[in-house]
């Protein structure tokens, strides 16, 4: 016959499992997926680029391949036109697992990526999926504008 586990043993196992799971979550959140956009500057493989209407900036779209913890990410880096090293860019957009991301310049400083609008002259509008998933404001067409125009 099987012996029943004591109640105290079940509690100890439950607490230990909770600690292990919480530690794994925190490791992934803060080590595997850094929370600062600047961490991603210069990373990825370029697959698209677009010049601003005033021909001052280039937006380059990169794919960053994932690992066993995450899928790929799309990154937009901004550089001045004619930059000698385009990998020395400023990341303004990072989206997790967006296979069909498209970018379009709306003005000399605003760029629309999918349903997100970013103003490259205002760092508070830069987009990182992990920081905007709950805060995004959705417009009538489902567009997300993270710029501070109000």
For 96-106, the pLDDT digits (tens) are 777 677 899 99
Three-state secondary structure call for residue 27:
helix
Confidence of residue 146 (pLDDT cuts 50, 70, 90): very low
For residue 5, CA distances in Å to 1, 14, 20, 117, 141 come to 13, 13, 21, 56, 56
Global model pTM greater than 0.75:
no
The two structure tokens encoding residue 21: 């799971």
pLDDT at 95 over 60: yes
**What digits encode the pLDDT tens for the residues 9-66?**
888 999 999 999 988 877 766 555 555 666 666 677 778 889 999 999 999 888 877 6
Looking at residue 125, what DSSP letter applies? G
The SS3 assignment for 24 reads: helix
| Domain segments of the chain as ranges | 38-145
User: What are the C-alpha distances in Å from 108 to residues 54, 104, 148?
Assistant: 6, 11, 17
């Amino acid at each position: 016959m099987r012996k029943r586990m004591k109640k105290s043993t079940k509690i100890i196992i439950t607490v230990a499992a909770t600690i292990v799971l919480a530690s794994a979550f925190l490791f992934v959140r803060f080590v595997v997926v850094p929370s600062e956009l600047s961490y991603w500057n210069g990373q990825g493989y370029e697959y698209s680029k677009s010049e601003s209407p005033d021909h001052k900036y280039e937006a380059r779209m990169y794919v960053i391949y994932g690992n066993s913890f995450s899928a790929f990410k799309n990154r937009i880096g901004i550089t001045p036109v004619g930059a000698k090293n385009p990998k020395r860019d400023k990341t303004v957009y990072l989206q997790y697992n967006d296979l069909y991301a498209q970018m379009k310049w709306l003005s000399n400083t605003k760029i629309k990526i999918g349903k997100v609008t970013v103003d490259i002259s205002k760092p508070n509008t830069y987009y990182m999926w992990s920081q905007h998933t709950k805060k995004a404001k959705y417009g009538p067409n489902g567009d997300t504008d993270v710029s501070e125009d109000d």
